[in-house]
Amino acid sequence: MTTYKSIVGQLVRKVSSDPTNPLVGQIWYNTTTGSLKGRKFTAAAWASGGDLNTARFNLAGCGTQTAGLGFGGNARPPTNNPVGLTEEYNGSSWSEQNDLNTARLGMGGAGTQTAGLAFGGRLAAPPTTFKNETEEYNGSSWSEQNNLDVARINLGGCGVQTAALAFGGEGSPGNDNETEEYDGSSWSEQNTLNTARESICAAGTQTAAVGFGGYVNPGGASALTEEYDGTSWTASNNMGTARYSLAGSGIQTAALAFGGSPTTGATEQYDGTSWTTSTSMTTARRQLASANASPSTSSLAFGGFSTANVATTEEFTGEVTASVTITSS
């Protein structure tokens, strides 16, 4: 809280009502309320949350910062096989829930903590077995649903349980550009991405999504961004940091991208047109998951791989500009 001492020598304007759009650093005295106020800025920041019960990477997630869901992934060692583990986050700690019916890694995820959706992925590697299974979570257990049309791993996913979007990924024989929409019962194929890529990230809804980053073969890490309008994809401005196996959240006009490979904690914000650099994560990592239904100003990152499996959870709070009452101390 700002004190009187810190504003000595500054011009204080007397007003009868608070200004509509005050500038950061502006101070005024409201004669009607008898209060001294100012406009302050708080920078974006990542803060530690509760650790996953099982450290793992290449897992999927959905939900929000205070009601997140994490599922699947690779918990090696001791084995290089996927797990079906499911955990719920309540804003401070994780609790174990019933497993997926089909243990796998590299899935897409969508929905909320009580109405989640898991799709795609793969079994043990090697040999690689691409999966098209879809499962719905009801807050207690998973149930099998109709399969994706195209089996694949490391695909992008967003939306809700009854209106989800899946795109990109890796299938057989290589990178995919297929897009599919889920209506709560079955999947239908739509117009493809302009650039096929795996390990892509997604944010938004079934009819207003943004896909960013990924791995292009040949070419490597990508900074490409594309927007989906419910019918087709159009190219937008690239991210500042090319990467794949990243995570994100938000909507088409306000998305957040963080982490990824090559291993990084870089965080960027998208405003529907371009990307800007934000505060980096504390723990740089790749193959992490997010509560992808969170807004870009309050995201949740968990799991992944750095130099080993990561159990760490981090909570993102976007920059805030607000008017506050100034008190003495």
**pLDDT in the model for residue 1:** 38
**pLDDT in the model for residue 116:** 98
Q: What is the DSSP string of 218-277?
A: TTEEB--EEEE-SS-EEEEPPPSS-BBS-EEEEETTEEEEE--BTTB--EEEE-SS-EEE
**pLDDT in the model for residue 123:** 86
**pLDDT in the model for residue 12:** 83
Check if the beta carbon of residue 116 is closer than 8 Å to that of residue 137: yes
**pLDDT in the model for residue 153:** 96
Q: Measure Cα distances from 231 to 66, 144, 166, 208, 273 in Å.
A: 32, 27, 13, 10, 19
How sure is the predictor about 109, in pLDDT bands with cuts at 50, 70 and 90? Answer: very high
How sure is the predictor about 320, in pLDDT bands with cuts at 50, 70 and 90? Answer: low
Structure confidence by residue, pLDDT tens digits, 71-93: 999 998 766 778 999 999 999 99
Q: Is the pLDDT of residue 5 over 70?
A: no
Average pLDDT, the chain: 92
Q: What is the Cα–Cα distance from 294 to 26, expressed in whole angstroms?
A: 32
185 — alpha (psi -120 to 50), left (phi > 0) or beta? Answer: alpha
Domains of the chain listed by start with CATH number: 4-42 (no CATH), 45-317 (2.120.10.80)
Give the position of tokens 């997630």.
61
Q: Is the pLDDT of residue 246 over 60?
A: yes
How sure is the predictor about 329, in pLDDT bands with cuts at 50, 70 and 90? Answer: very low
Q: Using CA atoms in the order 132, 239, 45, 246, what is the torsion angle rounded to 10 degrees?
A: 20
Check if the beta carbon of residue 38 is closer than 8 Å to that of residue 7: yes
Count of beta carbons in the 10 Å neighbourhood of residue 276: 10
Structure confidence by residue, pLDDT tens digits, 209-231: 999 999 999 899 999 999 999 99
Sign of the alpha-carbon dihedral angle for 320, 61, 238, 274: negative
Q: What is the Cα–Cα distance from 160 to 257, expressed in whole angstroms?
A: 19
Q: What is the Cα–Cα distance from 56 to 63, expressed in whole angstroms?
A: 18
Give the position of tokens 């001791």.
78
Give the position of tokens 């302009």.
194
Given strand 134-137, what is the order of strands in its sheet?
A: 108-111, 116-119, 134-137, 142-145
Across the strands, what pairs with 161? none
Q: Measure Cα distances from 225 to 96, 161, 189, 287, 296 in Å.
A: 35, 24, 21, 19, 16
Global confidence as pTM: 0.87
Q: What single-letter DSSP state applies at residue 23?
A: P
Point out the least confidently predicted range of 17-26, 41-50, 269-278.
17-26
The number of residues making up the chain comes to 329
How sure is the predictor about 192, in pLDDT bands with cuts at 50, 70 and 90? Answer: very high
Q: Is the pLDDT of residue 6 over 70?
A: no
The share of the chain scoring above pLDDT 70, in percent, equals 92
The two structure tokens encoding residue 248: 């994100």
Sequence-distant (≥ 6) Cβ neighbours of residue 146 within 8 angstroms: 134, 185, 186, 187
Q: Measure Cα distances from 239 to 178, 251, 257, 266, 275 in Å.
A: 22, 16, 9, 11, 6
Q: What is the Cα–Cα distance from 66 to 285, expressed in whole angstroms?
A: 22
The share of the chain scoring above pLDDT 90, in percent, equals 78
**pLDDT in the model for residue 24:** 73
Q: Is the pLDDT of residue 2 over 90?
A: no
